Amino acid sequence: MNFISQRVSSLAASQTLAMSQKSAELRAAGIDVINLSVGEPDFFTPQHIKDAAKAAVDANFSFYTPVPGYMSLRKAIADKLARENGVTFAPEQIVVGNGAKQELCNVILATVNAGDEVIIPVPAWVSYVEMVKLAEGVCVTVPAGIDSNFKITPTMLEAAITPRTRMLLLCSPSNPTGSVYSAAELRGLVEVLERHPQIIVVSDEIYEHINYTDEGFTSMASFASIADRTVIINGVSKAYAMTGWRIGYCAAPLTIAKAVTKLQGQYTSGASSIAQKAAEAAYTGPQECVGVMREAFRRRRDLVVAMAREIPGLKVNEPGGAFYLFPQVEAYIGKRCADRVINDDSDLAMYLLDEAHVATVAGSAFCAPGYIRLSYAASDQSLAEAMRRIAAALAKLQ
């Protein structure tokens, strides 16, 4: 008997999490694997945030939480959006959940009908396509390669729009490429969207603080002409090194926030009380920690880019944000080491794991075959060693 639904059978497992799990297993077996697969800060959560969580335990924050989150946290998020992004959202428009991942999935499930088209510029984070499939939507991927810095143009967006387009899913700074759209580039996309009022814009801003560009970060919701149909996805995972606490949010038009709350009320309820109090401390407390971590990531970006550029055959751009490098590896496809043939980027990622003991993720997981993703959220020493190992393993391919 096959007990598994069509819905779940047709989903791909998360390859970022799978690669990370595989490298943890190899490590447990005593192999010195350097894990550059999963994207999560390697820093510990700042002390004042941990203290807030401990205080919440002692103050008996142990009861069910309101489905969309504590009002105090939603207010703190509304203040953050006004202060840092110059956008106005009432606390009622904000829904807190178990990570940005859950809120993104909620928004998609709450707005996409079967057969609706969702435009996804690719490379894109592993979960976008699968979430749209879960909602029985149709993914319309718009590829942009390394030569265009992985960014789509207004013309490319316009060409992808049809009367069935329901949503545009944008991520800047981007996972997996690190590319950052400038305000002018976003404005170009907004001008297209102004002509198509049926499209909801979902802007995944989870890497907003990990941005090394001089211009800084522009939120999609800051464009007045589309603000009433723009949803921000964000959370504490990346900016405050809190991936395991599982707190993220959507800031959305009220009707969408209410629909998300209804959905969340039926299948997970409100997010963890303790984690919400910690997140509140993150948003209301001192912000220096954010800049300190960003500067460490910038230093590592420079290190990894410089070392990757020394490796023959790797095509590397300079990412403006996030903590990923997305080199093109096509020069190695079709090569071999003894009787092992590298047929595609997945083979190359497995080869690097077996031969160099470095875990990466194949570009095809992000709808971008011919690339691999390296997360440089690791110590400088690990990164330098990983790049040396990768260079040595690639040099063996003939």
Interacting residue ranges for ligand PMP, rule: CB under 6 A:
39, 99-101, 125, 171, 175, 204, 206, 235, 237, 243, 248
Do 320 and 211 meet the contact criterion of CB atoms below 8 Å apart?
A: yes
Indicate which single residue of 33, 34, 36, 38 sits in contact with ligand GLU (rule: CB under 6 A): 38
In residues, how long is the chain?
398
Q: Is 122 in the site for ligand GLU (CB under 6 A)?
A: no
Can you count the helices (H) and strands (E) in the chain? 13, 14
Work out how close the CB of 274 gets to ligand GLU at its nearest, in angstroms, rounded to a whole number.
Answer: 21
- The upper half-sphere exposure of residue 143, i.e. CA atoms within 13 Å in the direction of its Cβ, equals 11
Work out how close the CB of 23 gets to ligand GLU at its nearest, in angstroms, rounded to a whole number.
Answer: 12
Work out how close the CB of 310 gets to ligand PMP at its nearest, in angstroms, rounded to a whole number.
Answer: 28
Work out how close the CB of 16 gets to ligand GLU at its nearest, in angstroms, rounded to a whole number.
Answer: 3
> Which 86-115 residues touch ligand GLU, going by CB under 6 A?
101
Q: For residues 40 and 158, which CB has a smaller minimum distance to ligand GLU in the complex?
A: 40
Work out how close the CB of 218 gets to ligand GLU at its nearest, in angstroms, rounded to a whole number.
Answer: 21
Q: For residues 91 and 99, which CB has a smaller minimum distance to ligand GLU in the complex?
A: 99
Among 292, 296, 293, 322, smallest CA distance to 383 is for 296
Residue 311: Cβ within 10 Å count: 19
Work out how close the CB of 190 gets to ligand GLU at its nearest, in angstroms, rounded to a whole number.
Answer: 26
DSSP of 111-158 = HPPTT-EEEEEES--HHHHHHHHHTT-EEEEEE--GGGTT---HHHHH
Q: For residues 235 and 363, which CB has a smaller minimum distance to ligand PMP in the complex?
A: 235
Would you put residue 126 in left (φ > 0), alpha (ψ -120 to 50) or beta?
Answer: alpha
Stretch binding ligand GLU (CB under 6 A), from 119-127, 159-167, 278-286, 338-346:
119-127
DSSP of 212-254 = --SS----GGG-GGGGGGEEEEEESTTTTT-GGG--EEEE--H
Helix (H, G, I), strand (E, B) or coil at 209: coil
Secondary structure element (H or E) that encloses residue 97, with its range = strand 94-97
- Per-residue binder mask for ligand GLU (CB under 6 A), 320-339, x = binder: --------------------
Indicate which single residue of 52, 95, 126, 279 sits in contact with ligand GLU (rule: CB under 6 A): 126
Helix (H, G, I), strand (E, B) or coil at 90: coil
Q: Is 17 in the site for ligand GLU (CB under 6 A)?
A: yes
Do 113 and 107 meet the contact criterion of CB atoms below 8 Å apart?
A: no
Stretch binding ligand GLU (CB under 6 A), from 24-32, 34-42, 83-91, 246-254:
34-42
Q: CA–CA separation, 361 vs 353, rounded Å?
A: 10
Stretch binding ligand GLU (CB under 6 A), from 11-19, 225-233, 299-307, 345-353:
11-19
Secondary structure element (H or E) that encloses residue 34, with its range = strand 34-35
Q: For residues 204 and 345, which CB has a smaller minimum distance to ligand PMP in the complex?
A: 204
Work out how close the CB of 99 gets to ligand GLU at its nearest, in angstroms, rounded to a whole number.
Answer: 8
Q: Is 39 in the site for ligand GLU (CB under 6 A)?
A: yes
The token pair at 139 is 């993914």
The token pair at 223 is 């464009």
Residue 126 interacting partner from ligand PMP, ligand GLU, none (CB closer than 5 to 8 Å by kind): ligand GLU
The sign of the dihedral angle between the CA atoms of 38, 241, 216, 105 is positive
Maximum distance among all Cα pairs of the chain, rounded to whole angstroms: 63
Indicate which single residue of 45, 85, 175, 177 sits in contact with ligand GLU (rule: CB under 6 A): 175
DSSP of 280-343 = HHHHHS--HHHHHHHHHHHHHHHHHHHHHHTSTT-B-----BTTEE--B-GGGTT-EETTEE--
Q: Is 372 in the site for ligand GLU (CB under 6 A)?
A: no
Among 12, 111, 108, 67, smallest CA distance to 346 is for 12
Q: For residues 206 and 308, which CB has a smaller minimum distance to ligand PMP in the complex?
A: 206
Q: For residues 37 and 222, which CB has a smaller minimum distance to ligand GLU in the complex?
A: 37
Work out how close the CB of 175 gets to ligand GLU at its nearest, in angstroms, rounded to a whole number.
Answer: 5
Residue 171 interacting partner from ligand PMP, ligand GLU, none (CB closer than 5 to 8 Å by kind): ligand PMP
Work out how close the CB of 69 gets to ligand PMP at its nearest, in angstroms, rounded to a whole number.
Answer: 14
Chain residue at closest Cβ approach to ligand PMP = 99
Residues found near ligand GLU in the complex (CB under 6 A): 14, 16-17, 38-40, 101, 125-127, 175
